[in-house]
Chains A and B, each alone.
Chain A
Amino acid sequence: MEILCISGENWGWEGLWQLCPRAQSSSAENIPSRERFQSSGLRSNHPEVEDLKPKRFQVSALLSKWTKQNMWLQIFPNLGAGGGNDIQWCFSQVKGAVDDDVAEADIISTVEFNHSGELLATGDKGGRVVIFQQEQENKTQSHSRGEYNVYSTFQSHEPEFDYLKSLEIEEKINKIRWLPQKNAAQFLLSTNDKTIKLWKISERDKRPEGYNLKEEDGRYRDPTTVTTLRVPVFRPMDLMVEASPRRIFANAHTYHINSISINSDYETYLSADDLRINLWHLEITDRSFNIVDIKPANMEELTEVITAAEFHPNSCNTFVYSSSKGTIRLCDMRASALCDRHSKLFEEPEDPSNRSFFSEIISSISDVKFSHSGRYMMTRDYLSVKIWDLNMENRPVETYQVHEYLRSKLCSLYENDCIFDKFECCWNGSDSIVMTGSYNNFFRMFDRNTKRDITLEASRENNKPRTVLKPRKVCASGKRKKDEISVDSLDFNKKILHTAWHPKENIIAVATTNNLYIFQDKMN
């Protein structure tokens, strides 16, 4: 196992070492250089590093041609194969209430970075949107990136009552999507089950003063008291962030909206519910085009619903939608007005050896996301994450098991409804790592290049900033090693459904039930 970074207690320098148990001698010149260290070996009394704790080794080092000294070296193992490609995740911040009593309205229902990564928006079950802003990087604090602080909070959706059906419409925010920034203001779309709203978030840090006809508090002056004229000027004021709804797109969906996606033309967007997908223009609220309709003429024949939809990041005519039967359909809007006939159908043939009564339920896709490049798309079903090449329809190019140890527990998970949990997934900025959530406040990352994966936990126990997160492991069966957790002691109420990755940097936002965790990679 390679060691990336060491620091010598007595020496105080760093270098790259290779741990070689069979090394007979070690040598170090008195002027350490990186290259020299790379080829050195260590003699140690300890067995090869198995876990990932820092280790101390006693080494015999040649300080100079004539001096040999025994000393201690403390070694910090890294997670991956040389070059420091693997990221060490550290706790950065946690937002939200500390107590265990979770107010229903505080349950986070969506998390989304904007296109620059400077803003992070969350929506909750109470219909509120909270936006965090990253503070500008401090030159003195070069070892960590800027913190995210509350920038704006507003009530996006209110509960409604549909009198005709005698049904309450939840105000829970299902999705938030940012528009790319075109001027000083920021725009985002937020949606609940039935209505989509376009919000404008603008800053106000100046205000006009010195009106002739108005007092400072707004009362009108008696014109006869005006003796001189002056020109009003703008004076600085405390920063105020205002959110105002600019468009409300309502009454277009009979069923619950599960996805919204902004087109690459930045003028149109789609909204998808269980059976239909509509295309909107951002400027027009009283009309939308129906582009997909899978509602059967006879509702008795309904066997499949739409679970997610997204526009292609580069082709403004292409979008995909996933279904509860585990299929993804790619549609081209140029082909016809109603895209009921797909251009491509992505489906993996079922593994007959794994067939059970729950096969269909666990194959239902809960999220679909294009890669930033647009060449791949990722789908999340109950037990796995699959990466598809858009050019190959018959099977995914990569499959990653998220929590395969749950396969034997499907019966219980069906009973307590956990099998219907909808997990989301996300790409990192370079499309090399994908991330998704699991139970017990665990979340998983899969590196597509090194094929390594890691399980981390979002918990308040690792609260110190720049504390490197310890990888977790679930023990499926057999004897449990130290620090492992057995499947039966997993807390299925602590689920991480929503995660987001900064578009440019290694900063991730992970939402537990009512808390938002922000993690960063360790900067040296």
Chain B
Amino acid sequence: MFMRGLKRKCFDGEEDIEGTLAGIKAIPSYNLQRQSLLDMSLVKLQLCHMLVEPNLCRSVLIANTVRQIQEEMTQDGTWQMINMQNTGQASVDRLVSTDILCRSSREQAEGKHVPGYSTFSKDFEGDQAQDSSETMSTASSVQALRNLQSNVWEMENSQENKGNFQKSLDQIFETLENKSPNSVEDLFSEVDNSYYDLDTMLTGMMSNTKMGHCDGLEPFPSPTTTTSSSNCKSDLNELDHIVEILVES
């Protein structure tokens, strides 16, 4: 639902956003769009990790974009919310201005001057439903990322990776770097990567993304949260199995 609005927003760069109450309700929030951008970037990184020879320049640029979003989210306090596995009431410091991602920051800053707290609480209530779905999708995307991390890169470190986004980024680069496997484990993780990625593709995590098409942007939808975690567990078992066989032979 909000995906459609998001796509329209990207094309309709000319729309005038006044920051009115009505405007806020109709237009996807900045948070949501930023979240979508984050999801899209993570998918791109994941997919380019699958490629035979990832384009390093592209990966670096996408990773920098992800870092940028993460920094901004940390500043906003929305990142803490996610990391705490949010237990309900979100500790949002302020209502982030509603604006489109493609707009300049000056326009965004102007939009940030939303009228005072009374309207804030009203809006927040109104947006609560939206926000909770936001956080759900955020949580699901983070969980998806953790799944990626734990299964794709270093299985031993999967516990440490939880809740540490920066490290996941670093691991992307390590893996890119370690395309020339020196150790036996790396060799296995290479094998595991392709296997897992194929699996996730088949189970539909990737099926929503259409690389190279302008069809529309769909972040990880919430329903896959439960399925992906169960897949995660089964995949872990399967991967252990593969490792065993390889080691034995």
Q: Which B-chain residue is minimally distant from A258 (CB atoms)?
A: B57
Tell me the complex Cα distance, A193–B44, Å: 22
Q: Does B179 contact A (CB under 8 A)?
A: yes
Q: Does A234 contact B (CB under 8 A)?
A: no
Q: Does A415 contact B (CB under 8 A)?
A: yes
Tell me the complex Cα distance, A354–B105, Å: 6
Nearest Cβ distance between residue B221 and chain A, in whole angstroms?
17
Inter-subunit contact A170/B101 (CB<8 Å): no
Tell me the complex Cα distance, A352–B108, Å: 12
Q: Which A-chain residue is minimally distant from B169 (CB atoms)?
A: A300
Which residues of chain B (61-113) have a CB below 8 Å from chain A?
61, 63-65, 68-69, 100-106
Q: Mark A285-322, 1 if CB is under 8 A from B, else 0.
A: 00000000000000110111101000000000000000
Given known contacts A304-B60, A408-B102, A417 and B212 CB-to-CB distance under 8 angstroms: yes
Among A303, A353, A360, point to the contact of B106 (Cβ < 8 A): A353
Query: How many residues of B sit at the interface, in one of the four size bands?
Result: 35 or more
Nearest Cβ distance between residue B136 and chain A, in whole angstroms?
22
Inter-subunit contact B101/A356 (CB<8 Å): yes
Tell me the complex Cα distance, A166–B186, Å: 12
Given known contacts A357-B65, A409-B11, A417-B212, A299 and B60 CB-to-CB distance under 8 angstroms: no
Which residues of chain B (167-209) have a CB below 8 Å from chain A?
169-171, 173-174, 176-177, 179-181, 190
Which residues of chain A (336-385) have a CB below 8 Å from chain B?
352-358, 360-361, 364
Inter-subunit contact A256/B53 (CB<8 Å): yes
Q: Does A237 contact B (CB under 8 A)?
A: no
Given known contacts A409-B11, A409-B13, A307 and B173 CB-to-CB distance under 8 angstroms: no
Inter-subunit contact B60/A356 (CB<8 Å): no
Inter-subunit contact A300/B105 (CB<8 Å): no
Q: Mark B148-177, 1 if CB is under 8 A from A, else 0.
A: 000000000000000000000111011011
* B13 partner residues in chain A, CB cutoff 8 A: 407-409
Given known contacts A193-B53, A361-B65, A416-B214, A353 and B60 CB-to-CB distance under 8 angstroms: no
Q: Which A-chain residue is minimally distant from B69 (CB atoms)?
A: A357
Inter-subunit contact B190/A166 (CB<8 Å): yes
* A165 partner residues in chain B, CB cutoff 8 A: 179-181
Among A275, A420, A477, point to the contact of B58 (Cβ < 8 A): A420
Inter-subunit contact B214/A408 (CB<8 Å): no
Inter-subunit contact A303/B64 (CB<8 Å): yes
Among A256, A299, A303, A412, point to the contact of B214 (Cβ < 8 A): A412
Nearest Cβ distance between residue A309 and chain B, in whole angstroms?
14
Interface of B is mostly: helix
* A355 partner residues in chain B, CB cutoff 8 A: 104-106
Nearest Cβ distance between residue A485 and chain B, in whole angstroms?
16
Tell me the complex Cα distance, A300–B180, Å: 16
Tell me the complex Cα distance, A255–B211, Å: 24
Q: Which B-chain residue is minimally distant from A364 (CB atoms)?
A: B61
Nearest Cβ distance between residue A158 and chain B, in whole angstroms?
16
Among B52, B53, B56, B213, point to the contact of A305 (Cβ < 8 A): B56
* A416 partner residues in chain B, CB cutoff 8 A: 212-214
Q: Which A-chain residue is minimally distant from B182 (CB atoms)?
A: A164
Given known contacts A164-B180, A256-B53, A477-B14, A360 and B61 CB-to-CB distance under 8 angstroms: yes
Tell me the complex Cα distance, A89–B220, Å: 50
Nearest Cβ distance between residue B109 and chain A, in whole angstroms?
10
Given known contacts A255-B56, A300-B173, A417-B212, A412 and B61 CB-to-CB distance under 8 angstroms: no
Inter-subunit contact B104/A353 (CB<8 Å): yes
* B14 partner residues in chain A, CB cutoff 8 A: 408, 477
* B68 partner residues in chain A, CB cutoff 8 A: 357, 360
Query: How many residues of A sit at the interface, in one of the four size bands?
Result: 35 or more
* A274 partner residues in chain B, CB cutoff 8 A: 56-57
Q: Which A-chain residue is minimally distant from B103 (CB atoms)?
A: A356
Inter-subunit contact A414/B56 (CB<8 Å): no
Q: Which B-chain residue is minimally distant from A254 (CB atoms)?
A: B180
Number of A-B contacts (CB under 8 A): 113
Q: Does B40 contact A (CB under 8 A)?
A: yes
* B44 partner residues in chain A, CB cutoff 8 A: 417
Tell me the complex Cα distance, A356–B34, Å: 11
* B100 partner residues in chain A, CB cutoff 8 A: 411
Tell me the complex Cα distance, A256–B57, Å: 10
Q: Does A189 contact B (CB under 8 A)?
A: no
Q: Does B37 contact A (CB under 8 A)?
A: yes
Q: Does A497 contact B (CB under 8 A)?
A: no
Which residues of chain A (414-435) have a CB below 8 Å from chain B?
414-417, 420
Q: Does B217 contact A (CB under 8 A)?
A: yes
Inter-subunit contact B65/A360 (CB<8 Å): yes
Q: Does B17 contact A (CB under 8 A)?
A: no
Nearest Cβ distance between residue B113 and chain A, in whole angstroms?
16
Inter-subunit contact B37/A167 (CB<8 Å): no
18 A-B residue pairs with Cβ-Cβ distance under 8 Å, sorted by A, are A164-B180, A165-B179, A193-B53, A256-B53, A300-B170, A307-B57, A324-B60, A352-B105, A353-B104, A354-B104, A356-B104, A357-B34, A358-B65, A407-B13, A412-B214, A414-B40, A420-B58, A420-B61
Measured CB to CB, the residues of B under 8 A from A are: 9-11, 13-14, 34, 37, 40, 44, 52-53, 55-58, 60-61, 63-65, 68-69, 100-106, 169-171, 173-174, 176-177, 179-181, 190, 211-214, 217
Q: Which 9 A-B pairs have the closest CB atoms?
A: A408-B13, A300-B170, A411-B10, A299-B177, A355-B105, A353-B106, A274-B56, A299-B173, A165-B180
Measured CB to CB, the residues of A under 8 A from B are: 164-170, 193, 255-256, 274-275, 299-300, 302-305, 307, 324, 352-358, 360-361, 364, 407-412, 414-417, 420, 477, 488, 492
15 additional A-B pairs beyond A408-B13, A411-B101, A420-B58, beta carbons within 8 Å, are A165-B179, A166-B190, A274-B56, A299-B177, A300-B171, A300-B174, A304-B60, A354-B104, A356-B101, A364-B61, A408-B14, A411-B37, A412-B11, A412-B214, A477-B14
